[in-house]
Chains A and B, each alone.
Chain A
Amino acid sequence: MELEQLMEEYNRKLDEIIHLNKNNTFKNLPFRKSRQTTNSLLFYRITEVAFWGLVVVFMGSFVAFHLKEIHLAVSGLIIELFALIALTGSIGQIVLIRQIDYSKPVVEIRKKIESVNAHGLLFIKLLMISLPVWWVYAIVGLYLLFGIDIYPYLNPKFVTVYLTMNGVLVIPLIWFLNKLSYENLHIKWVQKTINGLTSPRTRKALHFLKEIEVFEK
Protein backbone atom coordinates (compact mmCIF):
# COMPACT_ATOMS: atom_id res chain seq x y z
CA MET A 1 0.00 0.00 0.00
CA GLU A 2 1.29 3.40 -1.03
CA LEU A 3 0.33 5.13 2.22
CA GLU A 4 2.50 2.85 4.32
CA GLN A 5 5.48 3.20 1.97
CA LEU A 6 5.12 6.96 2.01
CA MET A 7 5.13 7.07 5.81
CA GLU A 8 7.96 4.58 6.09
CA GLU A 9 10.12 6.84 3.97
CA TYR A 10 9.03 9.89 5.97
CA ASN A 11 9.78 8.14 9.29
CA ARG A 12 13.22 7.13 8.04
CA LYS A 13 14.00 10.70 7.00
CA LEU A 14 12.72 12.09 10.31
CA ASP A 15 14.91 9.70 12.26
CA GLU A 16 17.90 10.96 10.34
CA ILE A 17 17.32 14.65 10.71
CA ILE A 18 15.52 15.34 14.03
CA HIS A 19 17.80 16.04 16.92
CA LEU A 20 16.93 16.63 20.54
CA ASN A 21 18.55 19.66 22.15
CA LYS A 22 19.74 17.59 25.08
CA ASN A 23 21.20 20.54 26.92
CA ASN A 24 17.94 22.46 26.69
CA THR A 25 15.58 19.65 27.61
CA PHE A 26 15.10 20.78 31.21
CA LYS A 27 16.01 24.44 30.75
CA ASN A 28 13.15 26.93 30.82
CA LEU A 29 10.43 24.30 30.93
CA PRO A 30 7.41 25.96 32.61
CA PHE A 31 6.88 23.22 35.24
CA ARG A 32 5.20 25.60 37.68
CA LYS A 33 2.68 26.93 35.16
CA SER A 34 1.69 23.41 34.15
CA ARG A 35 1.10 22.37 37.77
CA GLN A 36 -0.94 25.51 38.52
CA THR A 37 -3.55 24.74 35.83
CA THR A 38 -4.49 21.38 37.35
CA ASN A 39 -4.30 22.71 40.90
CA SER A 40 -6.59 25.66 40.20
CA LEU A 41 -9.29 23.37 38.79
CA LEU A 42 -9.01 21.12 41.83
CA PHE A 43 -9.09 24.14 44.15
CA TYR A 44 -12.25 25.40 42.41
CA ARG A 45 -14.01 22.07 42.91
CA ILE A 46 -12.86 21.79 46.53
CA THR A 47 -14.36 25.25 47.14
CA GLU A 48 -17.60 23.98 45.59
CA VAL A 49 -17.60 20.95 47.92
CA ALA A 50 -16.97 23.19 50.93
CA PHE A 51 -19.84 25.50 49.89
CA TRP A 52 -22.36 22.71 49.31
CA GLY A 53 -21.15 20.93 52.45
CA LEU A 54 -21.96 24.03 54.48
CA VAL A 55 -25.39 24.31 52.85
CA VAL A 56 -26.11 20.65 53.67
CA VAL A 57 -25.07 21.08 57.32
CA PHE A 58 -26.96 24.35 57.65
CA MET A 59 -30.17 23.05 56.07
CA GLY A 60 -29.88 19.85 58.12
CA SER A 61 -29.90 21.84 61.33
CA PHE A 62 -32.71 24.07 59.97
CA VAL A 63 -34.88 20.99 59.38
CA ALA A 64 -33.99 19.55 62.82
CA PHE A 65 -34.98 22.79 64.55
CA HIS A 66 -38.30 23.07 62.70
CA LEU A 67 -39.53 19.50 62.76
CA LYS A 68 -42.81 20.58 64.34
CA GLU A 69 -43.52 23.18 61.64
CA ILE A 70 -44.09 20.76 58.77
CA HIS A 71 -44.07 23.40 55.98
CA LEU A 72 -40.65 24.72 57.11
CA ALA A 73 -39.25 21.23 57.61
CA VAL A 74 -40.45 20.05 54.17
CA SER A 75 -39.16 23.21 52.44
CA GLY A 76 -35.81 22.78 54.21
CA LEU A 77 -35.70 19.11 53.23
CA ILE A 78 -36.24 19.91 49.55
CA ILE A 79 -33.38 22.44 49.59
CA GLU A 80 -31.28 19.91 51.50
CA LEU A 81 -31.94 17.33 48.79
CA PHE A 82 -30.80 19.72 46.02
CA ALA A 83 -27.70 20.64 48.03
CA LEU A 84 -26.90 16.95 48.53
CA ILE A 85 -27.13 16.32 44.76
CA ALA A 86 -24.81 19.27 44.09
CA LEU A 87 -22.41 18.10 46.82
CA THR A 88 -22.31 14.56 45.41
CA GLY A 89 -21.70 15.97 41.92
CA SER A 90 -18.82 18.14 43.12
CA ILE A 91 -17.24 15.25 45.09
CA GLY A 92 -17.54 13.12 41.94
CA GLN A 93 -15.69 15.85 40.06
CA ILE A 94 -12.81 15.80 42.54
CA VAL A 95 -12.59 12.03 42.20
CA LEU A 96 -12.53 12.39 38.39
CA ILE A 97 -9.85 15.10 38.48
CA ARG A 98 -7.69 12.96 40.78
CA GLN A 99 -8.06 10.05 38.34
CA ILE A 100 -6.78 12.02 35.35
CA ASP A 101 -3.49 10.38 34.50
CA TYR A 102 -2.15 11.11 31.05
CA SER A 103 -0.36 7.77 30.92
CA LYS A 104 -3.73 5.98 30.77
CA PRO A 105 -5.51 5.11 27.48
CA VAL A 106 -6.58 8.14 25.45
CA VAL A 107 -10.33 7.42 25.29
CA GLU A 108 -10.58 6.72 29.05
CA ILE A 109 -8.82 9.98 29.92
CA ARG A 110 -10.78 12.03 27.38
CA LYS A 111 -14.05 10.81 28.93
CA LYS A 112 -12.89 11.89 32.38
CA ILE A 113 -11.64 15.28 31.23
CA GLU A 114 -14.77 16.03 29.23
CA SER A 115 -16.99 14.89 32.12
CA VAL A 116 -15.17 17.44 34.29
CA ASN A 117 -15.72 20.10 31.62
CA ALA A 118 -19.41 19.18 31.30
CA HIS A 119 -20.04 19.67 35.03
CA GLY A 120 -22.07 22.84 34.34
CA LEU A 121 -24.96 20.71 33.04
CA LEU A 122 -25.64 19.41 36.57
CA PHE A 123 -26.28 22.94 37.83
CA ILE A 124 -28.53 23.74 34.86
CA LYS A 125 -30.55 20.62 35.68
CA LEU A 126 -30.72 21.50 39.38
CA LEU A 127 -31.89 24.99 38.51
CA MET A 128 -34.61 23.63 36.24
CA ILE A 129 -35.85 21.04 38.71
CA SER A 130 -36.04 23.81 41.29
CA LEU A 131 -38.53 25.77 39.17
CA PRO A 132 -41.73 23.91 40.20
CA VAL A 133 -40.69 24.13 43.85
CA TRP A 134 -39.48 27.75 43.79
CA TRP A 135 -41.75 28.40 46.79
CA VAL A 136 -39.43 26.43 49.12
CA TYR A 137 -36.75 29.07 48.56
CA ALA A 138 -39.27 31.84 49.25
CA ILE A 139 -40.52 30.17 52.45
CA VAL A 140 -37.04 29.36 53.83
CA GLY A 141 -35.44 32.59 52.53
CA LEU A 142 -38.03 34.95 54.05
CA TYR A 143 -37.95 33.04 57.33
CA LEU A 144 -34.15 33.09 57.58
CA LEU A 145 -33.60 36.64 56.36
CA PHE A 146 -36.53 38.50 57.95
CA GLY A 147 -38.00 36.00 60.39
CA ILE A 148 -41.27 36.02 58.41
CA ASP A 149 -43.23 32.80 58.03
CA ILE A 150 -45.54 33.43 55.05
CA TYR A 151 -47.17 30.00 55.07
CA PRO A 152 -49.99 30.83 57.60
CA TYR A 153 -51.03 33.78 55.35
CA LEU A 154 -51.55 31.56 52.29
CA ASN A 155 -55.01 30.36 51.23
CA PRO A 156 -55.14 26.57 52.05
CA LYS A 157 -57.14 25.87 48.84
CA PHE A 158 -54.55 27.69 46.74
CA VAL A 159 -51.74 25.73 48.47
CA THR A 160 -53.42 22.38 47.77
CA VAL A 161 -54.04 23.17 44.08
CA TYR A 162 -50.54 24.57 43.65
CA LEU A 163 -48.86 21.57 45.33
CA THR A 164 -50.90 19.12 43.21
CA MET A 165 -49.90 20.96 40.02
CA ASN A 166 -46.27 20.93 41.11
CA GLY A 167 -46.44 17.24 41.89
CA VAL A 168 -47.83 16.51 38.43
CA LEU A 169 -45.14 18.68 36.82
CA VAL A 170 -42.25 16.97 38.60
CA ILE A 171 -42.58 13.66 36.71
CA PRO A 172 -42.39 15.08 33.14
CA LEU A 173 -39.67 17.45 34.32
CA ILE A 174 -37.56 14.54 35.62
CA TRP A 175 -38.09 12.74 32.28
CA PHE A 176 -37.08 15.90 30.41
CA LEU A 177 -33.95 16.46 32.52
CA ASN A 178 -33.00 12.81 32.22
CA LYS A 179 -33.05 13.22 28.45
CA LEU A 180 -30.64 16.17 28.66
CA SER A 181 -27.40 14.26 28.33
CA TYR A 182 -24.72 13.78 25.71
CA GLU A 183 -26.10 10.30 24.96
CA ASN A 184 -29.22 11.94 23.49
CA LEU A 185 -27.48 14.66 21.49
CA HIS A 186 -28.65 12.98 18.28
CA ILE A 187 -32.21 14.05 19.21
CA LYS A 188 -32.78 17.52 17.76
CA TRP A 189 -34.70 19.07 20.67
CA VAL A 190 -32.10 17.78 23.16
CA GLN A 191 -29.33 19.29 21.05
CA LYS A 192 -31.17 22.62 20.77
CA THR A 193 -31.96 22.73 24.50
CA ILE A 194 -28.37 21.92 25.49
CA ASN A 195 -26.98 24.42 22.98
CA GLY A 196 -29.34 27.07 24.29
CA LEU A 197 -28.88 26.52 28.01
CA THR A 198 -25.26 25.59 28.59
CA SER A 199 -22.02 27.56 28.42
CA PRO A 200 -19.74 27.10 25.38
CA ARG A 201 -17.32 25.05 27.49
CA THR A 202 -20.00 22.65 28.75
CA ARG A 203 -21.54 22.39 25.28
CA LYS A 204 -18.19 21.62 23.67
CA ALA A 205 -17.49 18.94 26.27
CA LEU A 206 -20.91 17.30 25.83
CA HIS A 207 -20.53 17.19 22.06
CA PHE A 208 -17.08 15.65 22.43
CA LEU A 209 -18.44 13.02 24.83
CA LYS A 210 -20.94 12.13 22.10
CA GLU A 211 -18.08 11.93 19.56
CA ILE A 212 -16.21 9.57 21.90
CA GLU A 213 -19.31 7.41 22.23
CA VAL A 214 -19.56 7.15 18.43
CA PHE A 215 -15.80 6.50 18.17
CA GLU A 216 -16.05 3.63 20.63
CA LYS A 217 -18.81 1.89 18.65
Chain B
Amino acid sequence: MHKVFAIIRREFVERVRQRWFWIMALLGPVFFGAVFLLPSLLMGKSSLKHIAIVDGSTTGIGKAVALQLDTTRVRSVLVAPGPHVADSLLQAVGAKQLDGFLLVSDLLPDSGQAEYRASNVSSFTTIGELESALQRVASGVRLQREGVNPAAIARARIHVDLKTTKISGGKTTGESAAQSFSLAYFMGIILYMAILLYGINVMSSVLEEKTTRIVEVLVSSVKPFQLMLGKVIGVGAVSLFQFLIWGLAGRWVFRYRHALGADAPGADAGLFTMPHVTLDTAVVFLCYFIGGFMLYSAMFAAVGAMSSNEQEARQAQQPVSMLLVLSFISMFAMLNDPGSTFAVTLSLIPFTSPIAMPVRWAAGNLPVSQVVLSLAILAASIVAITWVAARIYRVGILMTGKRPNPKELLRWIRTA
Protein backbone atom coordinates (compact mmCIF):
# COMPACT_ATOMS: atom_id res chain seq x y z
CA MET B 1 0.00 0.00 0.00
CA HIS B 2 2.94 2.22 0.81
CA LYS B 3 4.23 1.65 -2.71
CA VAL B 4 0.87 2.33 -4.37
CA PHE B 5 0.73 5.58 -2.48
CA ALA B 6 4.20 6.50 -3.76
CA ILE B 7 3.01 5.80 -7.33
CA ILE B 8 -0.10 7.95 -6.81
CA ARG B 9 2.03 10.70 -5.37
CA ARG B 10 4.46 10.62 -8.30
CA GLU B 11 1.71 10.78 -10.89
CA PHE B 12 0.05 13.65 -9.06
CA VAL B 13 3.11 15.74 -8.27
CA GLU B 14 4.73 15.33 -11.68
CA ARG B 15 1.53 16.38 -13.46
CA VAL B 16 0.70 19.31 -11.24
CA ARG B 17 4.26 20.54 -11.73
CA GLN B 18 3.84 20.61 -15.47
CA ARG B 19 3.08 23.88 -17.18
CA TRP B 20 0.09 22.60 -19.11
CA PHE B 21 -1.77 21.78 -15.93
CA TRP B 22 -1.71 25.40 -14.85
CA ILE B 23 -2.44 26.61 -18.34
CA MET B 24 -5.53 24.40 -18.29
CA ALA B 25 -6.39 25.55 -14.77
CA LEU B 26 -6.27 29.17 -15.88
CA LEU B 27 -7.71 28.81 -19.35
CA GLY B 28 -10.65 26.71 -18.13
CA PRO B 29 -12.33 29.48 -16.12
CA VAL B 30 -11.38 32.08 -18.73
CA PHE B 31 -13.04 29.92 -21.35
CA PHE B 32 -16.15 29.27 -19.29
CA GLY B 33 -16.29 32.87 -18.17
CA ALA B 34 -16.10 34.01 -21.76
CA VAL B 35 -18.90 31.68 -22.80
CA PHE B 36 -21.13 32.90 -19.99
CA LEU B 37 -20.23 36.55 -19.96
CA LEU B 38 -19.55 37.42 -23.55
CA PRO B 39 -23.18 37.38 -24.74
CA SER B 40 -24.30 39.49 -21.80
CA LEU B 41 -21.40 41.86 -22.24
CA LEU B 42 -22.17 42.26 -25.92
CA MET B 43 -25.88 42.70 -25.40
CA GLY B 44 -25.87 44.54 -22.09
CA LYS B 45 -23.42 47.15 -23.10
CA SER B 46 -25.44 48.21 -26.18
CA SER B 47 -25.40 51.98 -26.12
CA LEU B 48 -28.11 54.43 -27.12
CA LYS B 49 -28.94 54.30 -30.80
CA HIS B 50 -29.58 57.46 -32.68
CA ILE B 51 -31.80 57.18 -35.70
CA ALA B 52 -33.76 59.44 -37.97
CA ILE B 53 -37.40 58.77 -38.81
CA VAL B 54 -38.36 59.84 -42.28
CA ASP B 55 -42.08 60.41 -42.01
CA GLY B 56 -43.72 60.01 -45.40
CA SER B 57 -47.18 59.62 -43.96
CA THR B 58 -50.07 61.98 -44.05
CA THR B 59 -51.28 61.18 -40.55
CA GLY B 60 -48.20 61.85 -38.42
CA ILE B 61 -47.24 58.23 -37.99
CA GLY B 62 -43.58 59.17 -37.67
CA LYS B 63 -44.30 61.28 -34.63
CA ALA B 64 -46.30 58.48 -33.06
CA VAL B 65 -43.40 56.05 -33.60
CA ALA B 66 -40.92 58.56 -32.14
CA LEU B 67 -43.14 58.86 -29.10
CA GLN B 68 -43.16 55.11 -28.64
CA LEU B 69 -39.38 54.95 -29.00
CA ASP B 70 -38.86 57.52 -26.24
CA THR B 71 -39.25 54.79 -23.63
CA THR B 72 -36.58 52.61 -25.26
CA ARG B 73 -32.84 52.89 -25.83
CA VAL B 74 -33.42 54.32 -29.29
CA ARG B 75 -33.34 58.10 -29.69
CA SER B 76 -34.95 59.49 -32.79
CA VAL B 77 -35.34 62.71 -34.74
CA LEU B 78 -38.11 63.35 -37.22
CA VAL B 79 -37.14 64.26 -40.77
CA ALA B 80 -39.54 65.38 -43.47
CA PRO B 81 -39.27 63.46 -46.72
CA GLY B 82 -37.65 65.21 -49.66
CA PRO B 83 -35.79 64.47 -52.89
CA HIS B 84 -32.29 64.38 -51.28
CA VAL B 85 -33.15 63.32 -47.77
CA ALA B 86 -32.23 59.68 -48.30
CA ASP B 87 -28.82 60.62 -49.73
CA SER B 88 -27.90 62.98 -46.92
CA LEU B 89 -29.05 60.46 -44.31
CA LEU B 90 -26.96 57.78 -45.99
CA GLN B 91 -23.96 60.08 -45.69
CA ALA B 92 -24.75 60.73 -42.04
CA VAL B 93 -24.85 56.99 -41.37
CA GLY B 94 -21.63 56.60 -43.32
CA ALA B 95 -20.02 59.29 -41.18
CA LYS B 96 -21.35 57.52 -38.07
CA GLN B 97 -23.39 60.55 -37.05
CA LEU B 98 -26.43 58.33 -37.19
CA ASP B 99 -26.89 54.61 -36.55
CA GLY B 100 -29.62 54.35 -39.16
CA PHE B 101 -32.90 55.68 -40.38
CA LEU B 102 -36.45 54.45 -40.42
CA LEU B 103 -38.78 55.01 -43.37
CA VAL B 104 -42.46 55.08 -42.48
CA SER B 105 -45.45 55.94 -44.59
CA ASP B 106 -49.16 55.29 -44.68
CA LEU B 107 -48.28 51.78 -45.72
CA LEU B 108 -47.51 50.98 -42.09
CA PRO B 109 -51.10 50.85 -40.87
CA ASP B 110 -52.37 49.69 -44.26
CA SER B 111 -50.13 46.68 -44.88
CA GLY B 112 -47.65 46.70 -42.00
CA GLN B 113 -44.71 47.82 -44.08
CA ALA B 114 -41.78 49.97 -42.99
CA GLU B 115 -38.10 50.06 -43.73
CA TYR B 116 -35.04 50.42 -41.54
CA ARG B 117 -31.64 51.11 -43.07
CA ALA B 118 -28.67 51.00 -40.77
CA SER B 119 -24.99 50.16 -40.54
CA ASN B 120 -25.86 47.29 -38.22
CA VAL B 121 -29.09 45.42 -38.79
CA SER B 122 -28.16 42.38 -36.69
CA SER B 123 -28.61 44.04 -33.32
CA PHE B 124 -31.61 42.11 -32.07
CA THR B 125 -32.38 44.49 -29.25
CA THR B 126 -32.59 47.56 -31.51
CA ILE B 127 -34.57 45.77 -34.20
CA GLY B 128 -36.88 44.33 -31.56
CA GLU B 129 -37.53 47.71 -30.04
CA LEU B 130 -38.21 49.26 -33.43
CA GLU B 131 -40.53 46.45 -34.40
CA SER B 132 -42.59 46.66 -31.25
CA ALA B 133 -42.88 50.44 -31.50
CA LEU B 134 -44.04 50.14 -35.12
CA GLN B 135 -46.42 47.40 -34.14
CA ARG B 136 -48.05 49.51 -31.47
CA VAL B 137 -48.42 52.51 -33.76
CA ALA B 138 -49.81 50.45 -36.61
CA SER B 139 -52.36 48.66 -34.49
CA GLY B 140 -53.31 51.93 -32.81
CA VAL B 141 -54.09 53.54 -36.12
CA ARG B 142 -55.98 50.50 -37.34
CA LEU B 143 -58.06 50.35 -34.19
CA GLN B 144 -58.94 53.99 -34.60
CA ARG B 145 -60.00 53.29 -38.16
CA GLU B 146 -62.30 50.57 -36.85
CA GLY B 147 -64.00 53.20 -34.80
CA VAL B 148 -62.42 52.54 -31.48
CA ASN B 149 -62.08 55.80 -29.67
CA PRO B 150 -58.65 57.09 -28.61
CA ALA B 151 -59.42 56.62 -24.92
CA ALA B 152 -60.00 52.91 -25.47
CA ILE B 153 -56.78 52.73 -27.37
CA ALA B 154 -54.98 54.40 -24.48
CA ARG B 155 -56.39 51.70 -22.22
CA ALA B 156 -55.28 49.16 -24.77
CA ARG B 157 -51.80 50.61 -24.51
CA ILE B 158 -51.81 49.97 -20.81
CA HIS B 159 -52.86 46.48 -21.71
CA VAL B 160 -49.85 46.23 -23.99
CA ASP B 161 -47.68 47.23 -21.07
CA LEU B 162 -49.24 44.44 -19.03
CA LYS B 163 -48.55 42.12 -21.86
CA THR B 164 -44.84 43.01 -21.62
CA THR B 165 -44.88 42.00 -18.00
CA LYS B 166 -46.35 38.69 -19.05
CA ILE B 167 -43.59 38.18 -21.51
CA SER B 168 -40.98 38.70 -18.85
CA GLY B 169 -43.03 36.33 -16.68
CA GLY B 170 -42.65 33.78 -19.48
CA LYS B 171 -38.99 34.61 -19.55
CA THR B 172 -38.62 33.53 -15.95
CA THR B 173 -39.53 29.96 -16.83
CA GLY B 174 -37.65 30.30 -20.08
CA GLU B 175 -34.65 31.43 -18.16
CA SER B 176 -34.64 28.39 -15.90
CA ALA B 177 -35.02 26.13 -18.92
CA ALA B 178 -32.05 27.88 -20.47
CA GLN B 179 -30.18 27.45 -17.23
CA SER B 180 -30.74 23.74 -16.99
CA PHE B 181 -29.96 23.40 -20.68
CA SER B 182 -26.67 25.19 -20.34
CA LEU B 183 -25.87 23.23 -17.17
CA ALA B 184 -26.49 19.93 -18.97
CA TYR B 185 -24.55 21.14 -21.96
CA PHE B 186 -21.54 22.24 -19.96
CA MET B 187 -21.52 19.16 -17.79
CA GLY B 188 -21.50 17.09 -20.96
CA ILE B 189 -18.62 19.05 -22.46
CA ILE B 190 -16.55 19.00 -19.27
CA LEU B 191 -17.12 15.28 -18.72
CA TYR B 192 -16.23 14.47 -22.29
CA MET B 193 -13.11 16.62 -22.32
CA ALA B 194 -11.90 15.58 -18.88
CA ILE B 195 -12.40 11.83 -19.37
CA LEU B 196 -10.73 11.95 -22.77
CA LEU B 197 -7.89 14.22 -21.69
CA TYR B 198 -7.04 12.44 -18.47
CA GLY B 199 -7.68 9.01 -19.93
CA ILE B 200 -5.10 9.76 -22.59
CA ASN B 201 -2.85 11.01 -19.81
CA VAL B 202 -2.98 7.56 -18.25
CA MET B 203 -2.16 6.05 -21.63
CA SER B 204 0.88 8.29 -22.14
CA SER B 205 2.08 7.54 -18.66
CA VAL B 206 1.92 3.78 -19.32
CA LEU B 207 3.63 4.29 -22.64
CA GLU B 208 6.39 6.41 -21.12
CA GLU B 209 7.26 3.72 -18.59
CA LYS B 210 7.18 1.15 -21.33
CA THR B 211 9.34 2.98 -23.84
CA THR B 212 11.90 4.04 -21.24
CA ARG B 213 11.92 0.42 -19.99
CA ILE B 214 11.71 1.69 -16.45
CA VAL B 215 8.68 -0.54 -16.13
CA GLU B 216 11.00 -3.50 -15.75
CA VAL B 217 12.45 -2.06 -12.58
CA LEU B 218 8.98 -1.18 -11.35
CA VAL B 219 7.34 -4.57 -11.87
CA SER B 220 10.24 -6.27 -10.16
CA SER B 221 9.14 -4.33 -7.06
CA VAL B 222 5.37 -3.93 -7.35
CA LYS B 223 2.59 -5.96 -8.91
CA PRO B 224 1.57 -4.65 -12.34
CA PHE B 225 -1.97 -4.20 -11.01
CA GLN B 226 -0.71 -1.99 -8.20
CA LEU B 227 1.21 0.06 -10.72
CA MET B 228 -1.85 0.50 -12.93
CA LEU B 229 -4.06 1.27 -9.95
CA GLY B 230 -1.65 3.89 -8.63
CA LYS B 231 -1.46 5.46 -12.04
CA VAL B 232 -5.23 5.66 -12.52
CA ILE B 233 -5.82 7.05 -9.04
CA GLY B 234 -2.95 9.52 -9.35
CA VAL B 235 -4.07 10.93 -12.68
CA GLY B 236 -7.69 10.93 -11.46
CA ALA B 237 -6.64 12.98 -8.44
CA VAL B 238 -5.02 15.51 -10.76
CA SER B 239 -8.28 15.91 -12.66
CA LEU B 240 -10.27 16.32 -9.43
CA PHE B 241 -7.77 18.95 -8.34
CA GLN B 242 -8.32 20.67 -11.68
CA PHE B 243 -12.09 20.60 -11.09
CA LEU B 244 -11.57 22.05 -7.64
CA ILE B 245 -9.68 24.98 -9.15
CA TRP B 246 -12.34 25.42 -11.80
CA GLY B 247 -15.12 25.13 -9.25
CA LEU B 248 -13.60 27.80 -7.03
CA ALA B 249 -12.96 30.03 -10.04
CA GLY B 250 -16.55 29.42 -11.18
CA ARG B 251 -17.91 30.44 -7.77
CA TRP B 252 -15.79 33.54 -7.90
CA VAL B 253 -17.08 34.46 -11.35
CA PHE B 254 -20.63 33.79 -10.15
CA ARG B 255 -20.24 35.88 -7.02
CA TYR B 256 -18.74 38.85 -8.84
CA ARG B 257 -20.92 38.57 -11.93
CA HIS B 258 -22.46 41.99 -11.16
CA ALA B 259 -19.06 43.61 -11.07
CA LEU B 260 -18.14 41.76 -14.22
CA GLY B 261 -21.13 43.22 -16.00
CA ALA B 262 -23.17 40.09 -16.44
CA ASP B 263 -26.26 41.73 -15.00
CA ALA B 264 -26.38 44.71 -17.30
CA PRO B 265 -29.79 45.31 -18.89
CA GLY B 266 -30.55 42.72 -21.51
CA ALA B 267 -27.83 40.45 -20.16
CA ASP B 268 -30.14 37.54 -19.41
CA ALA B 269 -31.25 37.42 -23.02
CA GLY B 270 -28.41 34.98 -23.73
CA LEU B 271 -29.02 31.27 -23.98
CA PHE B 272 -26.07 30.45 -21.74
CA THR B 273 -27.04 31.99 -18.49
CA MET B 274 -24.92 31.15 -15.49
CA PRO B 275 -26.30 27.87 -14.16
CA HIS B 276 -26.85 27.29 -10.51
CA VAL B 277 -25.17 24.02 -9.47
CA THR B 278 -26.92 22.30 -6.59
CA LEU B 279 -25.19 19.87 -4.26
CA ASP B 280 -26.96 16.79 -5.62
CA THR B 281 -26.03 17.78 -9.17
CA ALA B 282 -22.42 18.15 -8.10
CA VAL B 283 -22.53 14.71 -6.47
CA VAL B 284 -24.01 13.10 -9.58
CA PHE B 285 -21.42 14.83 -11.72
CA LEU B 286 -18.54 13.64 -9.55
CA CYS B 287 -19.87 10.07 -9.28
CA TYR B 288 -20.09 9.76 -13.04
CA PHE B 289 -16.84 11.52 -13.65
CA ILE B 290 -14.99 9.18 -11.30
CA GLY B 291 -16.81 6.16 -12.71
CA GLY B 292 -16.30 7.18 -16.31
CA PHE B 293 -12.70 8.05 -15.72
CA MET B 294 -11.98 4.70 -14.04
CA LEU B 295 -13.67 2.80 -16.85
CA TYR B 296 -12.00 4.67 -19.66
CA SER B 297 -8.58 5.05 -18.08
CA ALA B 298 -8.43 1.27 -17.55
CA MET B 299 -9.07 0.88 -21.28
CA PHE B 300 -6.56 3.60 -22.12
CA ALA B 301 -3.98 1.93 -19.87
CA ALA B 302 -4.46 -1.33 -21.76
CA VAL B 303 -4.08 0.53 -25.06
CA GLY B 304 -0.87 2.14 -23.83
CA ALA B 305 0.46 -1.23 -22.72
CA MET B 306 -0.17 -2.92 -26.05
CA SER B 307 1.45 -0.14 -28.10
CA SER B 308 5.15 0.43 -28.37
CA ASN B 309 5.22 4.07 -29.48
CA GLU B 310 3.10 7.20 -29.56
CA GLN B 311 2.04 6.67 -33.13
CA GLU B 312 0.78 3.16 -32.51
CA ALA B 313 -0.99 4.29 -29.38
CA ARG B 314 -2.75 7.13 -31.18
CA GLN B 315 -4.08 4.62 -33.64
CA ALA B 316 -5.01 2.01 -31.09
CA GLN B 317 -6.87 4.44 -28.85
CA GLN B 318 -9.30 5.44 -31.59
CA PRO B 319 -11.93 2.78 -30.83
CA VAL B 320 -11.88 3.81 -27.17
CA SER B 321 -12.16 7.51 -27.96
CA MET B 322 -14.95 6.75 -30.43
CA LEU B 323 -17.06 5.39 -27.57
CA LEU B 324 -16.65 8.71 -25.82
CA VAL B 325 -17.28 10.77 -28.94
CA LEU B 326 -20.44 8.74 -29.49
CA SER B 327 -21.82 9.62 -26.08
CA PHE B 328 -20.85 13.23 -26.60
CA ILE B 329 -22.62 13.50 -29.95
CA SER B 330 -25.71 11.75 -28.59
CA MET B 331 -25.88 14.43 -25.93
CA PHE B 332 -27.58 16.86 -28.31
CA ALA B 333 -30.33 14.42 -29.19
CA MET B 334 -30.75 13.61 -25.50
CA LEU B 335 -31.09 17.26 -24.55
CA ASN B 336 -33.98 17.50 -26.96
CA ASP B 337 -35.86 14.72 -25.23
CA PRO B 338 -34.17 13.54 -22.04
CA GLY B 339 -36.93 11.00 -21.39
CA SER B 340 -36.76 9.15 -24.70
CA THR B 341 -35.97 5.45 -24.90
CA PHE B 342 -32.76 6.40 -26.69
CA ALA B 343 -31.65 8.65 -23.85
CA VAL B 344 -32.63 6.13 -21.16
CA THR B 345 -30.73 3.34 -22.95
CA LEU B 346 -27.59 5.43 -23.30
CA SER B 347 -27.72 6.43 -19.66
CA LEU B 348 -27.70 2.76 -18.64
CA ILE B 349 -24.95 1.49 -20.98
CA PRO B 350 -21.72 1.84 -19.00
CA PHE B 351 -19.68 3.22 -21.90
CA THR B 352 -22.11 6.08 -22.51
CA SER B 353 -23.71 6.56 -19.10
CA PRO B 354 -20.87 8.69 -17.64
CA ILE B 355 -21.88 11.47 -20.02
CA ALA B 356 -25.49 10.58 -20.73
CA MET B 357 -26.74 10.30 -17.15
CA PRO B 358 -25.39 13.61 -15.79
CA VAL B 359 -26.73 15.35 -18.89
CA ARG B 360 -30.18 13.87 -18.33
CA TRP B 361 -29.95 14.68 -14.65
CA ALA B 362 -29.21 18.32 -15.33
CA ALA B 363 -31.79 18.59 -18.08
CA GLY B 364 -34.75 17.38 -16.10
CA ASN B 365 -36.09 15.63 -13.04
CA LEU B 366 -34.95 12.06 -13.04
CA PRO B 367 -36.06 9.11 -10.93
CA VAL B 368 -33.31 8.34 -8.42
CA SER B 369 -33.84 4.63 -9.03
CA GLN B 370 -32.59 5.05 -12.60
CA VAL B 371 -29.46 6.80 -11.39
CA VAL B 372 -28.82 4.05 -8.86
CA LEU B 373 -29.33 1.33 -11.47
CA SER B 374 -27.04 3.10 -13.92
CA LEU B 375 -24.34 3.57 -11.28
CA ALA B 376 -24.59 -0.11 -10.30
CA ILE B 377 -24.10 -1.20 -13.92
CA LEU B 378 -21.22 1.23 -14.25
CA ALA B 379 -19.54 -0.06 -11.10
CA ALA B 380 -19.88 -3.69 -12.21
CA SER B 381 -18.46 -2.80 -15.61
CA ILE B 382 -15.50 -1.02 -14.05
CA VAL B 383 -14.64 -4.20 -12.17
CA ALA B 384 -14.97 -6.33 -15.31
CA ILE B 385 -13.14 -3.95 -17.64
CA THR B 386 -10.36 -3.34 -15.13
CA TRP B 387 -9.90 -7.09 -14.77
CA VAL B 388 -9.48 -7.48 -18.53
CA ALA B 389 -7.39 -4.32 -18.89
CA ALA B 390 -5.08 -5.34 -16.05
CA ARG B 391 -4.34 -8.62 -17.81
CA ILE B 392 -3.56 -6.90 -21.10
CA TYR B 393 -1.52 -4.36 -19.17
CA ARG B 394 0.47 -6.99 -17.33
CA VAL B 395 1.56 -8.79 -20.48
CA GLY B 396 1.75 -5.70 -22.67
CA ILE B 397 4.06 -3.52 -20.62
CA LEU B 398 6.91 -6.01 -21.01
CA MET B 399 6.38 -6.65 -24.70
CA THR B 400 8.17 -4.91 -27.49
CA GLY B 401 7.76 -5.38 -31.18
CA LYS B 402 4.55 -5.43 -33.12
CA ARG B 403 1.15 -4.72 -31.67
CA PRO B 404 -0.88 -7.84 -30.85
CA ASN B 405 -3.78 -8.82 -33.05
CA PRO B 406 -7.16 -9.59 -31.45
CA LYS B 407 -6.33 -13.29 -31.26
CA GLU B 408 -3.10 -12.67 -29.42
CA LEU B 409 -4.88 -10.21 -27.19
CA LEU B 410 -7.38 -12.89 -26.20
CA ARG B 411 -4.50 -15.21 -25.38
CA TRP B 412 -2.97 -12.50 -23.17
CA ILE B 413 -6.25 -12.12 -21.31
CA ARG B 414 -6.61 -15.88 -20.89
CA THR B 415 -3.07 -16.66 -19.82
CA ALA B 416 -1.90 -13.57 -17.97
Q: Do A and B bind each other?
A: no
- The interface of chain B, by Cβ under 8 A from chain A, is none
